[in-house]
Amino acid sequence: MINASIITIGDELLIGQVIDTNSAWIAQELNKIGILVKRRVAVGDTWDEIWKALDEESAHSSIILITGGLGPTADDITKPLLCKYFNGKMIVNDAALKNVIHLFENIFKRPITPRNLKQAEIPDTAKVLINPRGTAPGMWFEKEGNLFISMPGVPHEMKGIMEEEVLPAFSKKFDLPHIAHKTLATFGIGESTLADMIQDFEEALPTHIKLAYLPNFGIVRLRLTSIGANKEIVENELNKKFTTLQELVKEYLVTNKDEPMERVLGSLLLKRNETVSTAESCTGGYIAHLLTSIPGSSGFYEGSMITYSYKAKEDLLQVKNETLINKGAVSEEVVKEMAEGLLQKLKTTYAIAVSGIMGPDGGMPDKPTGTVWVAVGDNKKIITKKFHFRFDRQKNIQLTAMNALNLLRMFIIEEGK
């Protein structure tokens, strides 16, 4: 089994100004080709810390992937350090230089500064990995049986180098085992209850198959992972276990793929050749954003009205002023009128309407922060549901969206002709 460590470099990671999304992506891609990430380490822009991390991770893993610390600005010390660590001297690399010139002439269309040209200098002990999307090249070093790959921290540049250079080279160089994952998602059941429900199944799993619980925003995903030399054997065995697992949790099953709720709903609509629109108050467009973040969403999504104020609710969705005054904007009656107004306006098969108080302010004694009304339905029937979330604004918005999408999903399954 080939193990990898990921080292991310940058003070911004250690003071929490930036969230590391690179590591997750790298881990996913390595996993797909049968390399296990064993450790991920983040260190600051400090000579000693980077040096020690290289030493330490060499003892843990045979492949060390390094991101960050290669930008054109002066807070970067990674390149000179790598030069010294791998006993090289800096030289201008022809291929890297050509790439810098090409990018500035044809893509960025800006004049080149001396600082940009310096990006083409790399240690002579490195093999250059061309960066198709930026000026900082990747570098490939070998030392005492370990492999070190250094890449810039800008996510889309790192991804370009991984996809075009690193991953193909790994697949060629190593005889890799097969790793398979199968993930399903449940909604509306707690982690503990789920665990009790599948306890016998879990205890009977062979040691090379692992089960993990991944709870997030009302969804609990269950992931089975198996590993072995033979792809067919690994996948057949895993598929059987996965079928059993689906059966065990079927009452709460949302999807048997590793996909978000919005994609589940989108696929359902596409399959039925139906459409949805949203009328959003408290979620402020977040449900529409989720639906339209799926490629091809124009096949099932028509449009939305984001109606934050009373006036917008009245003018755009024909919510009655007296309903707003008598019942308040966060009420069953108002979300129902919002959904009705929306269906009339946009003539989609289904509508989702939400109104709530996301916080931190706006709560009232009878409607505390976190109170949300959701309506979903079609032109024959509209159902409503009240929720009460207890988190911060961001999380309340996300939970409202997830619950609204799930409510429509269940409505379609139960009521859809």
Write the interaction track for its own copies spanning residues 128-167; mark x where CB under 8 A is met and - where it is not. -----x--------------------x-x-----------
Residue 280 pairs in a beta bridge with 306, 354
When the beta carbons of 125 and 324 are compared against its own copies, the nearer one is 324
* Residues 353-372 interacting with its own copies (rule: CB under 8 A): 359-361
CB of 354 closer than 8 Å to CB of 400: yes
Q: Which two tokens stand for residue 194?
A: 């789920």
Question: How far is residue 416 CA from its own chain's centroid?
Answer: 30
Minimum Å gap between C-beta 87 and its own copies is 26
Closest distance to its own copies from the beta carbon of 57 (Å): 10
Provide the 10 A C-beta neighbour count for residue 15. Answer: 9
**Min separation Cβ 307 and its own copies, Å:** 5
Site size toward its own copies (CB under 8 A) is 110
| Least distance to its own copies, CB of residue 393, Å | 6
The answer to whether residues 344 and 372 touch, using CB atoms and an 8 Å cutoff, is no
Q: Whose Cβ is closer to its own copies: residue 95's or residue 212's?
A: 212
Whichever of 242 and 301 has its CB closer to its own copies, that residue is 301
Beta carbon nearer to its own copies, 14 or 169? 14
Q: How far is CA 115 from the centre of its chain?
A: 34
What is d(CA 65, CA 134) in angstroms, rounded to the nearest whole number?
18
Among the residue ranges 164-172, 216-224, 231-239, 378-386, the one whose residues contact its own copies (CB under 8 A): 216-224
- Angstrom distance (rounded) from CA 211 to CA 226: 9
Work out how close the CB of 64 gets to its own copies at its nearest, in angstroms, rounded to a whole number.
14
**C-alpha span between 27 and 31 (Å, rounded):** 6
| Residues in contact with its own copies, shown as a per-residue x/- string from 277 to 316 under the rule CB under 8 A | -x-x--xxxxxxx-xxx-xxxx--xxxxxxxxx-xx--xx
Residues 221-280 that bind its own copies (CB under 8 A): 221, 223, 225, 258, 278, 280
Q: Which is nearer to its own copies, 87 or 394 (CB)?
A: 394
| Selected binder of its own copies within 127, 143, 178, 210 (CB under 8 A) | 210
217 binds its own copies (CB under 8 A): no
Residue closer to its own copies, measured from CB, 45 or 333? 45
The residues near 211 (Cβ < 8 Å, ≥ 6 apart) are 198, 202, 205, 222, 223, 224
Instruction: Single out the segment in contact with its own copies by CB under 8 A; choices: 49-57, 89-97, 242-250, 408-416.
Output: 49-57
Please answer whether residues 242 and 207 qualify as being in contact, where contact means their C-beta atoms are separated by less than 8 angstroms: no
Query: Among residues 51, 140, 174, 213, which is the contact residue for its own copies, using CB under 8 A?
Result: 213
Q: Which residues pair with 278 in a beta bridge?
A: 304, 352
Instruction: Write the interaction track for its own copies spanning residues 13-32; mark x where CB under 8 A is met and - where it is not.
Output: xxxxxxxxx-xxxxxxx-x-
Contact predicate 411/377, CB 8 Å:
yes
Q: Which 8-state DSSP code applies to residue 382?
A: E
* 90-95 LR contacts (CB < 8 Å, sep 24+): 90/121, 90/122, 90/123, 90/124, 91/121, 91/122, 91/123, 91/124, 92/120, 92/121, 93/120, 93/121, 93/122, 93/128, 93/137, 95/128, 95/130, 95/137
- For residues 361, 363, 365, 368, the Cα torsion angle rounded to the nearest 10 degrees is -130
Q: Out of 2, 9, 34, 40, name the contact with its own copies by CB under 8 A.
A: 40
Shortest Å, Cβ 229 to its own copies: 19
Region 162-201 residues binding its own copies, contact defined as CB under 8 A: 181, 183, 190-196, 199
